[in-house]
Amino acid sequence: MNSDKKRLAVLASGSGSNLQAIIENCQNGYIPAEVAVVLSNNTSAYAIERAKNFNIATVVLETKDFDSREAYDKKVVEILKSYEIDLVVLAGYMLLVTSEFLKGFQGRIMNIHPALLPAFAGTDGIGDALTYGAKVAGVTVHFVDEGCDTGPIILQDCLKIKEGETKEELAKRIHTIEHRLYPEAIKLFCEGRLEVEGRTVKLKS
């Protein structure tokens, strides 16, 4: 096992609660890595403030300042490579990455989704599960490919939806799972224990 610390970039558009969990698990030694930079497309993202609280470098880039999404992602890749990033972690990042991004970090981009993929992909996995009348909800950590929430699945965990449970109540329970499952998946990557074969992610001992 490689004991060298990996360098993570976390991309976030919102409050950054998963970012907080990742930073804390890096600092307590559970994840053998450090968050080298936090990047956002949203100038008001609280994730940026969280990063600054830990003296982590931050970058804010708005898509409106670029001619195309490809041009935007080309700049993001350029910035992340300047930080010598090993793994890109999407944590509530509300942009679909383009081929430019995928080329820059092939097989090294991870995302978390608040549903049991392939069910309820998209921007409102929790609400969609409730509307559909699902009995079970959960969390998926997956590698990112050219589709929307379609990459190879790394880890999943589930919970039973309680009768009459509101979206806010379910979201709170799902976030608790996210804050445990995402650090676990990142830890496995950093330890070199994930192997992708087609759509299957195998865990090496």
Q: How far is CA 166 from CA 49, 127, 131, in A?
A: 29, 9, 11
Euclidean distance between CA atoms 152 and 145, whole angstroms: 8
Active site amino acids? 113
Euclidean distance between CA atoms 131 and 139, whole angstroms: 17
8 Å CB contact between 190 and 169: no
Euclidean distance between CA atoms 156 and 159, whole angstroms: 11
Euclidean distance between CA atoms 2 and 193, whole angstroms: 10
